[in-house]
Amino acid sequence: MERKLRTGVKAGIWMLIGWIMMCITGLLFTGSFKMGLNIAIANSLIGLVCYFVYERIWGSIKWGQSGD
């Protein structure tokens, strides 16, 4: 099982990638950089929390890990 810090760093990098993509998508759909930015921030914060919890749950499941 990986440490919480590692999971947090992975989640942060994933959030950054998602934030950039959502910001571009929001800009394309709304035509407003500010609106795209707001959508990206909200989506990233929600996604970060969900991803972190998801990784921690899977980290505690022994199925499919080496040593089974």
On whether residue 10 sits in a domain, the answer given is yes
On whether residue 43 sits in a domain, the answer given is yes
pLDDT band at 31 (very low <50, low <70, confident <90, very high): very high
Residue 1's pLDDT is what?
Answer: 78
Six-digit token pair at 38?
A: 């707001």
- pTM for this predicted structure: 0.56
Per the structure, the complete domain to which residue 27 belongs is given by 4-58
On whether residue 39 sits in a domain, the answer given is yes
pLDDT band at 68 (very low <50, low <70, confident <90, very high): low
Residue 57's pLDDT is what?
Answer: 95
On whether residue 51 sits in a domain, the answer given is yes
User: What ranges make up the beta strands (E) of 8-51?
Assistant: none
On whether residue 68 sits in a domain, the answer given is no
List, in order, residues 6 or more apart from 66 with CB less than 8 Å away: none
Q: What is the DSSP string of 10-51?
A: HHHHHHHHHHHHHHHHHHHHHS-HHHHHHHHHHHHHHHHHHH
On whether residue 66 sits in a domain, the answer given is no
- Give the C-alpha separation, 49 to 47, whole Å: 6
What angle separates helix 33-60 from helix 4-30, to the nearest 10 degrees?
Answer: 150
**pLDDT greater at residue 32 or residue 44:** 32
On whether residue 14 sits in a domain, the answer given is yes
